[in-house]
Structure 1
């Protein structure tokens, strides 16, 4: 009987040792995540989709700002009498207006998508 108990005991001992190793591994992983150096390195990992999206959004917003600045500059130049082509000024203002409206629509869609995600049940 002791031989059977010894074999069963050895199997249980191996299982306990495997579980102990898993606990130690997870504990070590948690310590690495909570270490001060890990927080600085962590934002680099989600760089792929989120970083690309924020870069694209920032680039689009910069282009809109640039378009609005150009339209404002042409309007001021027209008021000072430096630019005499009214069509050029009006075209720049329309372009800036359309760019702003498009940006506003993108913001509205993103906000709506965020709200839909927040309403989802987990």
Structure 2
């Protein structure tokens, strides 16, 4: 990294270039997540799903989601480790990977909380 002060034209140019990269990657992530949401909506909307035994669809979906969250966290950890070793110099890439992992974990926790609440409500029901 250069030792130029941030007030110099080069430093400001670098900051603006990083900002532009962050915005572009953020937009790309939004597009990817929107496309995944549309695909998921199509899967949930139609009778084109193959018939699965009761409970298998939910269990498989939950397992797949947890594996995806684990993969996202693994990628974030590997990018962070690579940055610490000096192999990756793009701070924006590291920050985006860590944010994505954090958001995926928070979403997983929200789903867990809702499932636990639903389970508790069912257990309180009288037979």
Distance in 2 between the 1:117 and 1:82 partners? Answer: 51
Structure 2 counterpart of 1:101: 106
Q: Does 1:64 align with 2:73?
A: no
Structure 1 counterpart of 2:124: 119
4+ aligned runs moved over 3 Å, structure 1: none
Q: Deviations over 1:13-48 (max 9, x none)?
A: xxxxxxxxxxxxxxxxxxxxxxxxxxxxxxxxxx62
Larger relative contact order (Cα-Cα within 8 Å, sequence gap ≥ 6): 2
Give the TM-score of the pair, scaled to structure 2: 0.59
Deviation at 1:114, TM superposition (A): 0.2
**Superposed, which structure 2 residues align to 1:1-122 within 5 Å?**
48-122=53-127
Which ranges in structure 1 are unaligned for 5 or more consecutive residues? 1-46
Distance in 2 between the 1:49 and 1:112 partners? Answer: 21
Deviation at 1:49, TM superposition (A): 2.7
Deviation at 1:85, TM superposition (A): 0.2
Q: Which is richer in helix?
A: 1
Distance in 1 between the 2:126 and 2:117 partners? Answer: 16
Give the TM-score of the pair, scaled to structure 1: 0.61
**Aligned length, in residue pairs:** 76
Distance in 1 between the 2:99 and 2:88 partners? Answer: 17
Distance in 1 between the 2:93 and 2:78 partners? Answer: 12
